[in-house]
Homo-oligomer: A and B are copies of this chain.
């Protein structure tokens, strides 16, 4: 598997005017006649169950629910003449623990898409995302144990059952990150994101690309820093953490999400990875993003700018409940399609960059998290990452680049943030500059504080520590 290892020492996209929605240097073809990143933005619809237990007794009801959802989504795509669509099936934990269940739903969705393609010519593909259930233990065991086995088996069975793209929201390093984040412990955060997470990602993505290699046509999509940066984003959203901390965490996370690509991922990256544009700039692979039409799943301070560079445009997740119009999955499919229509028409009429810039300007300085999502900020962070070698150095560099972008916004007067947030910026900056230059020293400094919380063997850290 080692031959798949890629290393990114330069940007795939270095000119800001090439970093735009709908176009990626390395498009991905998959599913039924769909090519992602070759000029059009397509909707990616993700949908989930309402309040119902996933169990054997309920299984027929669950199958009915998924059938209803996919029927509604396809009906809308056909009615609105969508030029293409991706469906994402995010397994629920019980469906990964029992991989047959996940595979059964995958097969059902695959059949529905095939039929839509045959009957209506709808170009489409199915992304399948098993749950990273390795976190069950305390500390979580990542490379062995039951959770790990079930997870890998789930990938395998879903690939066989008709998945076109495999993804995951992996959690290596999260056990440490959760606690570090809540206590605002910057060295702990860097340890989790710059040392632990990349080690797990490397191992895990070798497994996933290996599975894809055994199932021709199945694309290893990408990962997301959901467990890290989206947790921080949610906490900032609830005013539990400073927005500036969430923003800096996001930038750092790009390094660990990039590891998927180093180990064979080809995109589209996961929708909830707001670090996606950085990945696109570095790898040239297409990305999925979510924002103003993911209000079903979470609120966001960057609803518009999130779409500025996307290749798929997602709703993140919506429950199968009834709205006045029809089912919520169908409703959010419609919203995504209209967003894509606008982007595609603008692109077709030569206005992609203009629309991208409006989307950016409309959010950019209203929140620190949005400020990091502009094409310029993206390239700045991406450039720092490719300049550096180790994951640890890259993580530090990304954090510093993020802070300097925020400083720029503040000093130019474009961005207004409360005094409390500014204090945190100072604090983060100070702590970062106090970190050692080499990773071993940091490990020694924090290891004790997090002893027992993580399993060194799960990160290949036993021998070398």
A76 surroundings in chain B (CB, below 8 A): 299
Would A342 and B326 count as touching, CB distance under 8 A? Answer: no
Which of B48, B295, B341, B362 makes the CB contact (< 8 A) with A325?
Answer: B295
Interface size, chain A (Cβ < 8 Å): 50
Residues A337-352 near B (CB distance < 8 A) = 337-339, 341-342, 344-346, 349, 351
Would B325 and A342 count as touching, CB distance under 8 A? Answer: no
A71 at the interface (CB under 8 A from B): no
A416 to B289, CA, bound (A): 32
Would A358 and B342 count as touching, CB distance under 8 A? Answer: yes
Residues A310-359 near B (CB distance < 8 A) = 317-319, 321, 323-326, 328, 330-332, 334-335, 337-339, 341-342, 344-346, 349, 351, 354-355, 358-359
Given contacts A324-B318, A325-B298, whether A293 and B358 have CB atoms under 8 Å apart is no
A292 surroundings in chain B (CB, below 8 A): 334-335, 338-339
Please, what's the 1-or-0 string for A284-304, where 1 marks a CB less than 8 Å from any CB in chain B? 000000011111111111011
A80 at the interface (CB under 8 A from B): yes
A386 at the interface (CB under 8 A from B): no
Which of B79, B296, B337 makes the CB contact (< 8 A) with A323?
Answer: B296
A355 to B357, CA, bound (A): 12
A4 at the interface (CB under 8 A from B): no
A34 at the interface (CB under 8 A from B): no
Q: Look across to chain B and name the residue whose beta carbon is closest to the beta carbon of A363.
A: B341
Would B298 and A324 count as touching, CB distance under 8 A? Answer: yes
User: In the complex, how many angstroms separate the beta carbon of A271 from the nearest chain B beta carbon?
Assistant: 14
A361 surroundings in chain B (CB, below 8 A): 345, 349
A28 at the interface (CB under 8 A from B): no
A337 to B291, CA, bound (A): 12
A92 at the interface (CB under 8 A from B): no
Would A358 and B349 count as touching, CB distance under 8 A? Answer: yes
User: In the complex, how many angstroms separate the beta carbon of A9 from the nearest chain B beta carbon?
Assistant: 37
A363 surroundings in chain B (CB, below 8 A): 341
Would A358 and B346 count as touching, CB distance under 8 A? Answer: yes
Q: How many copies does the complex hold?
A: 2
User: In the complex, how many angstroms separate the beta carbon of A321 from the nearest chain B beta carbon?
Assistant: 6
A111 at the interface (CB under 8 A from B): no
Given contacts A319-B323, A324-B297, A339-B292, whether A351 and B354 have CB atoms under 8 Å apart is yes
A303 surroundings in chain B (CB, below 8 A): 334-335, 337-338
Would A335 and B295 count as touching, CB distance under 8 A? Answer: yes
A293 to B351, CA, bound (A): 23
Q: Look across to chain B and name the residue whose beta carbon is closest to the beta carbon of A360.
A: B345
A415 at the interface (CB under 8 A from B): no
Please, what's the 1-or-0 string for A69-85, where 1 marks a CB less than 8 Å from any CB in chain B? 00000001001110000
Would B295 and A334 count as touching, CB distance under 8 A? Answer: yes
Q: Which of A291, A351, A358 has the most CB of B within 10 A?
A: A358
A254 to B330, CA, bound (A): 30
A342 surroundings in chain B (CB, below 8 A): 304, 358-359, 362
User: In the complex, how many angstroms separate the beta carbon of A111 from the nearest chain B beta carbon?
Assistant: 25
A304 surroundings in chain B (CB, below 8 A): 338, 341-342
A344 to B366, CA, bound (A): 14
Q: Look across to chain B and name the residue whose beta carbon is closest to the beta carbon of A335.
A: B295
Would A328 and B323 count as touching, CB distance under 8 A? Answer: yes
A295 surroundings in chain B (CB, below 8 A): 323, 325, 331-332, 334-335
A346 to B339, CA, bound (A): 16
A54 to B12, CA, bound (A): 60
Would A334 and B299 count as touching, CB distance under 8 A? Answer: yes
Given contacts A297-B323, A321-B321, whether A344 and B362 have CB atoms under 8 Å apart is yes
Q: Look across to chain B and name the residue whose beta carbon is closest to the beta carbon of A330.
A: B299
A338 surroundings in chain B (CB, below 8 A): 291-292, 303-304, 362
Would B299 and A331 count as touching, CB distance under 8 A? Answer: yes
Please, what's the 1-or-0 string for A371-388, where 1 marks a CB less than 8 Å from any CB in chain B? 000000000000000000
Would A296 and B324 count as touching, CB distance under 8 A? Answer: yes
A sample of 8 more A-B contacts (CB under 8 A), given A296-B325, A355-B355, is A295-B332, A296-B331, A297-B325, A299-B330, A300-B334, A303-B338, A342-B359, A345-B362
Instruction: Give the top 7 A-B pairs by smallest Cβ distance, nearest first.
Output: A292-B338, A295-B331, A341-B362, A303-B338, A345-B362, A295-B334, A298-B325
List 10 A-B residue pairs with CB atoms under 8 Å apart, sorted by A's residue number.
A292-B334, A292-B339, A293-B335, A295-B332, A296-B324, A298-B325, A299-B325, A303-B335, A335-B335, A355-B358
